[in-house]
Amino acid sequence: QITLKESGPTLVKPTQTLTLTCSFSGFSLSTNGVGVGWIRQPPGKALEWLALIYWDDSKHYSPSLKSRLTVTKDTSKNQVVLTMTDMDPVDTATYYCAHSGLYSQYVVDYWGQGTLVTVSS
């Protein structure tokens, strides 16, 4: 059974760096075709795709946020970490991590429950 869970601070100050951890079970990020992505959703708004890292350590980022995002994996710990620098109140959102690879390496299939991050001084 594939499960994912996000963890990290619920409140960050403007200009700070956000670090979120996605801890997962039920799959290995060393398996061919598997990836873990990050998606966020501001309150009451639509989903926004942020980044994705694959089993081979290839990475893809949203162009509009690329300069601020870094995604890394720790296969031995079954974790993926997202860092976002220079946080702003507009970055307030629920941040989700999600698995891809059950049907296709390109399809996001299982999602974590999400974690709400508020950016405020």
List contacts with another protein (CB under 8 A).
Answer: 37, 39, 46-49, 52, 60-63, 96, 103-104, 106-114
Whose Cβ is closer to another protein: residue 10's or residue 76's?
10
Which is nearer to another protein, 60 or 92 (by Cβ)? 60
Q: How many other C-beta atoms lie within 10 A of the C-beta of residue 53?
A: 24
CB atoms within 10 A of CB 44: 5
The rounded distance, in Å, linking the Cα atoms of 5 and 68 is 22
Shortest approach of another protein to residue 77 CB, angstroms? 22
- d(CA 53, CA 66) in angstroms, rounded, equals 13
Nearer to another protein, 16 or 111 (CB): 111
> Tokens 């708004």 appear where?
45
- Min separation Cβ 37 and another protein, Å: 8
